[in-house]
C-alpha cells in the first residue's frame, strides 16, 4: 500500500519515491507535509510508483497535490514518454477522456443577479441535462457524429452553438488533429448519439459564481476579471462516448503487453509502444473523444447563455457572458518539451492534471501570452474555485502541468453515510448557494466535505512554482450531475 513507501523530501512542497526494483525513474508527489497522511492513506502513491515502471518514461512519474486512487494511473498523475521507446496507456488518460473545465465571465455583478439566482439555477437545470445516461435535446446520427468528432467545438459553432470568438480561448482551439473516426466502435457512437450538450453524473457540474478575491491584478485584468463579477464554470467531459472508447481499447492493450513483452506491476497500466498499431489506433479513437468533449462543452456554454437571457430577461449584450478559457485534464498529447537541454517530442499523459504553459508559449492565446496559459481549478459546491496561470517552472519540472481540482477526500459511499439524515441542499441554501441535482443522492455524494480543501491544493502548486494564483471564485448556484 502507499503508506509502505519511503518518501524523500525534495522541498517543503515536493517529495520523491526513489527509484528501486524495475522502476525506470523516481516518482514525485507535490504536497505539503500536512497533506501526506491523507495522500498515503490510499493506494495512489503506489500507483505513481507503478507508473515509473513503464518503458520510455522521461524524468519522473509525477503526481499533483490532488492525487487520489484511480484506474492504473493515480488521478492527478502526469507522465511523459519518449516517442521511440515509450508507450501510451489508456489508464494514463482515464475513462472520461477530455474531462475539462470552461470558465465564462459576464458584465454582471453579484448584486445584480442575487434576486434572480434561484430562478437562474432552475433555468440552467432545464437547459443542461444532468445525471447518469442523461440525454440532450440534440440527437445526431452516426454519420453526423463522425462530423462532430472531426470538428469538435468548431462543429458546434458551425451548427449555431456559440461564435467563432469562443474557439480562440479553448485548448487546441476546441479541435485536435489526428482523429480517426473509423477506429471508434459502433457501441461508442451509439452511446454518443444523445448525449451532446449534457453534463453527465458524478463530480460534473455547472456553477454560477463570482470573483471573490484577486491575487494578481495584471493577470486578472488580462483575463477580464474584476471583483464581484458573475462567472460560470462548466466541468464535464466526453460522456458515454469517451467511456466506451476507453473500455474498447483496454482489452486490446492487455493483449499488446503480451505481444510486446512489456512487464507491468499492475495490469491496469496496460499499454503499447507509441509507434505500434495498437497505440496509433487508440490515439486516433481517443482524439475523436477529445473532440466530442470539446463540442459537448461548447453546446453547454451556448445553452448556458440562453438560460441567462431567459432567467434574467436581458439581452446577450447586457449580460456579456463570454469564454475566458477552457482546459482539458484527462488527455494524452504529443508535445514538444526540453529534455536535458534538447527540444524533444513527447507523449504527455495528464490524468486529473491541467496543462500550465508558461508566458510566451505559442499555444497560449495571444491575448494572454504575456501572463501565461489560464489554469482553471474547480473546488466543491460549498467553498471556492481558482483561476491560475502557467509558469516557466512548470515547463521545467512537470512538462507544463499542474493540479486539476480539489481531489476527493471521501468515497461516494462514505459521503452518502456522512450526509444521511441531513438536507444538504437546504444547508447550502442557508449559505446563499442554490443547488439542483439529478437526485438527492447526487447532491449527498458531492457534499463539500467529500473533497479536500482546494485552497491547500492550489497553494501547494503556487508555492512549488508550477502555477501562479490569479483569482478566487465563490459559488452562488450549482447544478450537479
15-21, long-range: CB < 8 A, 24+ apart: 16/60, 17/45, 17/48, 17/49, 17/52, 19/52, 21/53
Catalytic residue numbers? 404
Question: What length is written for the chain?
Answer: 481
Q: How far apart are CA 384 and CA 438, in angstroms?
A: 22
Chain centre distance of CA 246: 16
Looking at residues 355-378, what average pLDDT do you find? 98
Residue-wise pLDDT for 170-203, tens only, equals 999 999 999 999 999 999 999 999 999 999 887 8
Helix (H) or strand (E) holding 61: strand 61-68
Residue-wise pLDDT for 125-159, tens only, equals 999 988 767 777 787 888 899 999 999 999 999 99
Q: How far apart are CA 105 and CA 126, in angstroms?
A: 21
Parallel, antiparallel, or unpaired for β 434-437 and 401-402?
unpaired
The set of residues, in sequence order, having a beta carbon less than 8 Å from that of 280 and lying 6+ positions away, is none
Which pLDDT value is given to residue 1? 39
Query: Where does the pLDDT of residue 265 fall: very low under 50, low under 70, confident under 90, or very high at 90 and above?
Result: very high
Chain centre distance of CA 172: 14
424 versus 22: the higher-pLDDT residue is: 22
| Average pLDDT over the chain, rounded to an integer | 94
First to last CA, the chain: 32
Residue-wise pLDDT for 30-76, tens only, equals 999 999 999 999 899 999 999 999 999 999 999 999 999 999 999 99
Quote the DSSP letter at residue 450.
G
CB 435 within 8 A of CB 477: yes
Which pLDDT value is given to residue 2? 43
Phi, psi of 312 (to 5 degrees): -95, -10
Pull the grid cell for residue 267: 495490469
Amino acid at each position: 500500500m502507499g503508506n509502505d513507501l519511503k518518501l524523500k523530501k525534495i522541498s517543503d512542497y515536493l517529495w520523491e519515491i526513489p527509484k528501486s526494483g524495475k522502476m525506470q525513474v523516481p516518482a514525485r508527489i507535490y504536497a505539503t507535509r500536512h497533506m501526506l497522511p491523507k495522500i498515503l492513506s490510499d493506494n495512489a502513491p503506489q500507483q505513481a510508483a507503478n507508473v515509473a515502471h513503464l518503458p520510455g518514461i522521461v524524468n519522473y512519474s509525477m503526481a499533483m497535490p490532488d492525487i487520489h486512487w484511480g484506474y492504473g494511473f493515480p488521478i492527478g498523475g502526469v507522465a511523459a514518454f519518449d516517442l521511440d521507446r515509450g508507450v501510451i496507456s489508456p489508464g494514463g488518460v482515464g475513462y472520461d477522456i477530455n474531462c475539462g473545465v470552461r470558465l465564462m465571465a459576464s458584465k454582471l455583478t453579484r448584486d445584480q443577479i442575487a434576486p434572480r439566482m434561484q430562478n437562474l439555477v432552475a433555468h440552467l437545470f432545464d437547459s443542461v441535462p444532468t445525471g447518469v445516461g442523461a440525454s440532450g435535446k440534440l440527437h445526431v446520427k452516426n454519420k453526423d457524429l463522425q462530423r462532430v468528432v472531426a470538428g469538435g467545438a468548431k462543429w458546434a459553432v458551425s451548427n449555431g452553438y456559440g461564435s467563432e470568438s469562443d474557439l480562440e480561448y479553448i485548448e487546441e482551439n476546441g479541435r485536435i488533429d489526428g482523429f480517426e473516426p473509423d477506429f471508434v466502435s459502433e457501441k461508442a457512437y451509439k452511446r454518443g448519439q444523445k448525449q451532446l450538450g449534457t453534463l453527465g453524473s458524478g463530480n460534473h457540474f455547472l456553477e454560477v459564481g463570482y470573483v471573490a478575491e484577486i491575487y494578481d491584478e495584471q493577470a486578472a485584468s488580462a483575463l477580464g476579471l474584476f471583483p464581484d463579477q458573475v462567472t460560470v464554470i462548466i466541468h464535464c467531459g466526453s460522456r458515454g462516448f469517451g467511456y466506451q472508447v476507453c473500455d474498447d481499447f483496454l482489452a486490446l492493450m492487455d493483449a499488446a503487453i503480451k505481444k510486446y513483452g512489456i512487464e507491468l506491476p499492475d495490469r491496469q497500466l496496460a499499454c503499447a509502444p507509441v509507434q505500434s498499431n495498437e497505440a496509433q489506433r487508440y490515439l486516433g479513437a481517443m482524439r475523436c473523444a477529445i473532440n466530442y468533449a470539446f463540442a459537448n462543452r461548447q453546446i453547454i456554454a451556448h445553452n448556458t447563455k440562453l438560460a441567462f437571457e431567459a432567467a434574467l430577461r436581458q439581452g446577450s449584450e447586457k449580460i456579456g457572458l463570454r469564454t475566458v478559457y477552457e482546459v482539458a485534464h484527462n488527455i494524452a498529447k504529443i508535445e514538444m518539451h526540453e529534455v536535458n537541454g534538447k527540444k524533444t517530442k513527447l507523449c504527455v499523459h495528464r490524468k486529473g492534471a491541467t496543462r500550465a504553459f508558461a508566458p510566451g508559449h505559442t499555444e497560449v492565446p495571444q491575448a494572454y501570452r504575456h501572463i501565461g496559459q489560464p489554469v482553471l481549478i474547480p473546488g466543491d459546491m460549498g467553498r471556492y474555485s481558482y483561476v491560475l496561470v502557467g509558469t516557466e517552472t512548470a515547463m521545467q519540472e512537470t512538462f507544463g502541468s499542474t493540479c486539476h481540482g480539489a481531489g476527493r477526500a471521501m468515497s461516494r459511499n462514505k459521503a452518502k453515510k456522512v450526509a444521511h439524515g441531513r438536507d444538504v441542499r437546504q444547508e447550502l441554501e442557508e449559505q446563499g448557494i442554490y443547488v439542483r441535482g439529478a437526485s438527492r443522492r447526487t447532491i449527498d455524494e458531492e457534499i463539500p466535505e467529500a473533497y479536500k480543501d482546494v485552497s491547500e491544493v492550489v497553494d501547494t502548486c503556487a508555492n512549488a512554482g508550477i502555477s501562479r494564483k490569479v483569482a478566487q471564485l465563490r459559488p452562488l448556484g450549482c447544478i450537479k450531475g
